[in-house]
Structures are given as C-alpha cells and as structure tokens.
Chain A
Amino acid sequence: MYFDSFQALLTMNGHGIYVWPAYLVTIVVITALLIAPMRRRSRVLRQLAGELKRAQSASDSGAKGER
C-alpha cells in the first residue's frame, strides 16, 4: 500500500477532497445504473403477477357464478 496511515489516505496531501468526491459520485452513479433495471424488472413482474392473479380469480368466480 502506498499510504502510511489512514489519515494520509484520507487527505492525500490535500488532494483527497478532489479524489474522494470523484470516486463517490462515480460509485453512486454506477449503483444507480445497476439498481434501476433491477427495480424496473421486479416492478413489471409484480404488476404482471397481480394482473394474472386477478384474471384468475375473476375467471374462477365467473365460472362458479354463471355455469
């Protein structure tokens, strides 16, 4: 490891306040990029499952009531 102490790693001779935000923003954006499609996928699936369930119960009750 290049840095002697945790303190040195954090400050990086005064450049820490530039390096760390750059990495932080990068990580935040990457995380958002990865999470957004996962959430979208599970939302679509949940919606579809709900629709399927409702369609199923509607056809079930319809079958009981009329035939």
Chain B
Amino acid sequence: MWTFFHKLGSPPWLYAIAGVVLRWLLPITLIALVGGMIWGVLFTAPDFRQGNSYRIIYVHVPAAVVALAGYYVMAIAGAVSLIWRIKMADVVMKAAAPVGAALAFIALFTGAVWGKPTWGTWWVWDARITSMLILLFLYLGVIALYEAFDNKEAAGKACAVLSLVGMVNIPIIYKSVDWWYSLHQPASIKFTGESTIDPSMLYPLLLMIAAFYALFTCCLLMNMRAELLQRESRTQWVKKIAAKEGKR
C-alpha cells in the first residue's frame, strides 16, 4: 500500500504509467464519444415536447456534470498537495483547471444554444446555467491566480488554497442560486422534468457521461505528462526521453 503511494510521488513512474493508461483509454474515449454522439443524434426519437433540439442534452449534461466533478478533483488534489506536500498532486491540480474550464464553457454554450428553441431566448438566468457560469468564473480565477505568480511553487499552493475555498463555497453557491431562482422564477418558462426521461434517451446519455469522464481523465493525464516533462526537464529520465523522442 505505502509503496504504491511512494510510486505515485515519483515522476518517471507516473509519466510511464500515465502513458500506458492513455494508450488504452484514449482510443476507448474517442470511440465512446463518437459512438455516443452518433447514437444520440441519429438513433433516438425526438422528445415529444422539445422536438429535435433536445439532442443537445447529449453534450450539454455530460459537460456540466464533469465540469463540476472536475472542480472537486482539482480541489482535492490541491488539498493533498497542501497537506502531504506531494508535488504530483500539484501537477494534477494544474492539469485539471483548463480542462474543467473548457467543459464548463461547453456546458454554457450548448445551454445557451438549447435555450433559443426551448425558451425563445439565448440566455435565461436559470439556476443551473447561472451556477455553471459562476463555476466557470471559479475555474478562471484559479487559472489567473496561477499565471499571476512568478514563483510556480507558490502559485501551486495559492491555487490549492483558492480551490479549497471554492470547494467549500460551491454547495453554498449552488443552493443559494437555486433558491434565488425559485424566488424569481418567471411564469412564462416551463420546465420539462428530467426524472421522466425515457430509457431509450437515457442510455446514450449515460454513455456520453461516461465518455466525458473518460475524456476528462485523458486530458488530465496528457496535461500531466506535458507538465511533468517541463518541470523535470533537468533530470536524467527526461533527457533520456528527449533524446529518444525529440528528434522528430
């Protein structure tokens, strides 16, 4: 058990194992993404109330779910790096931030596009969209804070503190935005309950959620590998890799 944790802290081992995982996970992810999209767009019946526009759900919901989960990954990695001083956790945190921000952006964009045929406007101050926007701001804050520091070790620690503060706040933000929306909910907007989703629509959605989780993992691992090479560029194992692969 402990040797496993020690290995996790060793950059060359992490680099190698991430490469092995990626060799399998990346193709599977791409197949699942493409397959799920084709399934969702071509082979499901349209929703009886929203028509074909509901097909956006297959990218909107997975992106939103994984964007939120990604923040927790980032914050927990930050906590690990702060408490146990494991440098690799710092690498995970740094790698997670841009991926999460991009997913939050996807969720917002597809949500806005979905809003036009459903509600008649591009943007509704709906509880979920608003909280997703705040989540994007939280991600951007972490990224901006990291870039503002010249000393990258301090930058990692500062971002870890900030993402932990964000993690404590996310439930509060979600609850209060939810409550705020229920207070101001305009009468003209009606919601289709998501609990009544048909199985034929649910299975591709579940596949897409799994695919987005896998995508997040892939991007995380790839970012980590690049980050590891850059951080450890003065060490022997990186030089060996560079001599082998850098000639192309």
Point out the residues of chain B lying under 8 angstroms from A42, CB to CB: 245-246, 248
Contact at B222–A34, with CB atoms within 8 Å? yes
Give the size category of B's interface with A.
Answer: 35 or more
Known: A18-B53, A38-B222, A48-B239. A2 touches B37 (CB 8 A): no
C-alpha gap A23/B208 in the complex (Å): 13
Query: Using a Cβ–Cβ cut-off of 8 Å, how many residues does chain A contribute to the interface with B?
Result: 35
Contact at B239–A25, with CB atoms within 8 Å? no
Q: How many A-B residue pairs have CB under 8 A?
A: 116
Contact at B116–A2, with CB atoms within 8 Å? no
Partner of A18, one of B102, B113, B215, B243: B113
Contact at B233–A37, with CB atoms within 8 Å? no
Could you tell me the dominant secondary structure of chain A's interface residues? Answer: helix
Question: What residues make up the interface of B, taking CB atoms closer than 8 Å to A?
Answer: 33, 37, 41-46, 51-53, 55-56, 59-60, 63, 98-99, 102, 105-106, 109-110, 113-114, 116-117, 215, 218-219, 222-223, 225-226, 229-230, 233, 238-239, 241-243, 245-248
User: Can you pick out 13 interface pairs between chain A and chain B where the beta carbons lie within 8 Å of each other?
Assistant: A1-B42, A1-B43, A2-B42, A15-B55, A15-B117, A18-B56, A22-B109, A25-B110, A37-B222, A37-B225, A45-B246, A48-B242, A49-B245
Going nearest first, the 9 A-B pairs with the smallest beta carbon separation are A49-B246, A48-B242, A37-B222, A12-B52, A45-B246, A15-B52, A41-B226, A15-B53, A40-B226
